């Protein structure tokens, strides 16, 4: 019997989950839940769509609910609420608030006797895993995480809120010299400015003061002031042609030392180059949904993260076959 998936929230991420489930023969999506009027929502593959309020009726019809809302306001409420009723997987990515999210979700999952996996994706997620593995193997060492080249949704939104900006996209870009230094086995102390640059492509409203817009961007506290930022004003046509995608990626590098006098250097690098950030994140969520279903079958309830999940649980392939073909 297939693992029955529910999708809670249908934006880019929910759409990505819909498509990713299709690539896994042991799963099927049985329902999409939305806070919009369900009759107005048509999914890529014409899935049944229900009102979010109706979700409790599906307790026996869904094995794992994949939450596809945002980390700012949706998931802190939705994940604990749904974890009382369903095995859940979310992509909560506000790093500083993970401990309190964990506590809230864990209480709900223990109450509901469900398995809840939080902060699944690539950062947090695959990047975190690689930080953990490399640090555990090479305790004498230093970690570096670089993001990009890719679109930062939060920074793009911040630019779009500036008066006179019609549309905007912000790319985060690792500084090549910093990345090369680390890859070469050096362990430099890098400032924020030395690790990443930011590049903005802006469509200005007709007659807008582009000098003021540029100044407002590059001096914006938290978002841009600590970075070297380049601003390009482009036409709407060019924007739609060249900047419609949501690519992202990045690098996790650990430089570690071993030997009697720590004379040997090892460089461990994990990198992602993603055409579609939400589709890749969705693919990670779907693989972990398989793990959630297995853990729930074993009555391993409560809140867990990628750190707690045996890698084999992500795969539809048996342990025996994995040892034979993949080890």
Residues that bind a second copy (CB under 8 A): 16, 19-20, 23-24, 44, 95, 98-99, 102, 119, 124, 126, 128-133, 135-140, 183, 185, 256, 258-260, 264-276, 279-280, 282-284, 287, 290, 305-312, 314-316, 319-320, 322-324, 326-327
Closer of 16 and 112 to a second copy (Cβ): 16
Our CA dihedral for 251, 252, 257, 258, rounded to 10 degrees, sits at -110
- The Cα–Cα gap between 247 and 15 comes to 16
Closer of 36 and 324 to a second copy (Cβ): 324
- The Cα–Cα gap between 82 and 112 comes to 9
CB of 287 to a second copy, least distance (A): 4
CB of 217 to a second copy, least distance (A): 29
Closer of 166 and 307 to a second copy (Cβ): 307
Closer of 25 and 211 to a second copy (Cβ): 25
Q: Show the CA angle centred on residue 53, arms to residues 50 and 59, nearest 5°.
A: 80
113 DSSP assignment = T
Reading phi first (left if > 0) and then psi (alpha if -120 to 50, else beta), residue 163 is in beta
CB of 18 to a second copy, least distance (A): 9
CB of 44 to a second copy, least distance (A): 5
- Parallel, antiparallel, or unpaired: how do β-strands 264-274 and 248-258 relate? antiparallel
Closer of 49 and 158 to a second copy (Cβ): 49
Nearest alpha carbon to residue 67 among 32, 19, 97, 42: 32
CB of 243 to a second copy, least distance (A): 16
Q: 38: which 2 tokens? A: 């369900």
């Amino acid at each position: 019997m297939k693992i029955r998936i529910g999708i809670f929230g249908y934006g880019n991420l929910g759409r990505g989950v819909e498509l990713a489930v299709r690539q896994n023969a042991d799963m099927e999506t049985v329902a999409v839940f939305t806070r919009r009027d369900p009759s107005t929502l048509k999914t890529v593959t014409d899935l049944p769509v229900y009102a979010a309020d109706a979700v409790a009726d599906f307790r026996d019809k869904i094995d794992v609910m994949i939450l596809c809302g945002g980390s700012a306001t949706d998931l802190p409420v939705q994940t604990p609420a749904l974890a009382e009723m369903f095995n859940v997987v979310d992509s909560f990515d506000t790093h500083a608030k993970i401990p309190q999210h964990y506590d809230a979700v864990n209480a709900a999952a223990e109450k509901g006797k469900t398995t809840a996996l939080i902060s699944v994706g690539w950062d947090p997620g695959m990047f975190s895993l690689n930080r953990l593995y490399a640090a555990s193997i090479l305790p004498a060492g230093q970690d570096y995480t670089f993001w990009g080249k890719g679109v930062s949704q939060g920074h793009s939104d911040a630019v779009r809120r500036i008066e006179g900006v019609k549309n905007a996209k912000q790319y985060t870009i690792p500084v090549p010299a910093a990345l090369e230094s680390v890859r070469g086995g050096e362990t430099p102390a890098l400032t924020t400015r030395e690790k990443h640059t930011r590049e903005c492509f802006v469509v200005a409203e007709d007659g807008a003061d582009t000098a003021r817009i540029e100044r407002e961007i590059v001096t914006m506290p938290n978002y841009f002031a600590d970075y070297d930022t380049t601003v390009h004003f482009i036409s709407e046509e060019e924007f739609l042609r060249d900047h419609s995608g949501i690519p992202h990626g990045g690098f996790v590098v650990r430089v570690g030392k071993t030997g009697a006098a720590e004379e040997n250097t090892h460089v461990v690098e994990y990198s992602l180059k993603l055409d579609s950030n939400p589709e890749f994140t969705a693919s990670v969520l779907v693989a972990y949904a398989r793990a959630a279903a297995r853990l729930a079958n074993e009555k391993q309830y409560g809140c867990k993260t990628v750190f707690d999940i045996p890698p084999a649980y992500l795969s539809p392939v048996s342990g025996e076959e994995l040892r034979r073909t993949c080890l």
